[in-house]
Amino acid sequence: MVTDGKGVDAGLLQTRYRLTKQRAAILRALEDGAHLTAEAIHERVRAELPAVSLGTIYRTLDILRAIGLVQVFAHGGAARYEAALDKHHHLVCLACGEIVNVPAPQVVSIALAVAQDHRYSGVDAAMVITGRCARCAGLARNGIGLS
């Protein structure tokens, strides 16, 4: 999660980009660690910058992704953006939709082994684990319907 403005400034200084008010507002919208759609980011940013368009949000997210300050995660629907910069994978609750970042360094070695078997190079891997979170599993055990 991006919480240190100096780190963001340093990341931007290493590129040809500067920290505009739109970029700063998007990073602030993501600073709570949420995995948000572009539309949800747009709603958060509009509280600060009412005239900002959804198109500007998408263009700015593309720039922030290229710089490495924002990551995108897509699973079963709309792409979701996050400001977590560390390499991680995702645990997704199939009942409530909660998304949790999880480190899984062993995934890299598995991906490299599979890639080597198929003579691939430049490999990256993203793992998504699905199931029910503890809260939803508890509700299901107690016979409470889940939407």
pLDDT in tens, 45-62: 999 999 999 999 999 999
How confident is the model over 18-27, as pLDDT tens digits? 888 999 999 9
Same domain, 73 and 103: no
pTM (two decimals): 0.75
The parent domain of residue 125 ranges over 89-141
CA distance 40 to 1: 17
Same domain, 68 and 111: no
Does any domain span residue 20? yes
Does any domain span residue 75? yes
CA distance 36 to 80: 5
37-53 burial by CB neighbour count: b if 16+ within 10 A, else e?
ebebbbebbbeeeeebe
| Integer CA distances (angstroms), 112 to 55, 103, 122, in order | 37, 17, 9
Look at residues 82, 107, 127 and tell me which one is the last residue of a structural domain: 82
How many domains does the chain divide into?
Answer: 2
What is the domain-level CATH number for residue 95?
3.30.1490.190
Burial of 71 (0-12, 13-18, 19+ CB in 10 A): buried
Same domain, 123 and 97: yes
Same domain, 22 and 55: yes
Residue 6 has pLDDT above 70, yes or no: no
Same domain, 9 and 61: yes
What's the whole-number average pLDDT of the chain? 86
CA distance 58 to 61: 5
Same domain, 38 and 104: no
Other Cβ atoms closer than 10 A to 98: 14
How confident is the model over 85-94, as pLDDT tens digits? 788 999 999 9
For the chain, percent of residues with pLDDT exceeding 70 = 86
Same domain, 16 and 67: yes
Is the Cβ–Cβ distance between 77 and 40 less than 8 Å? no
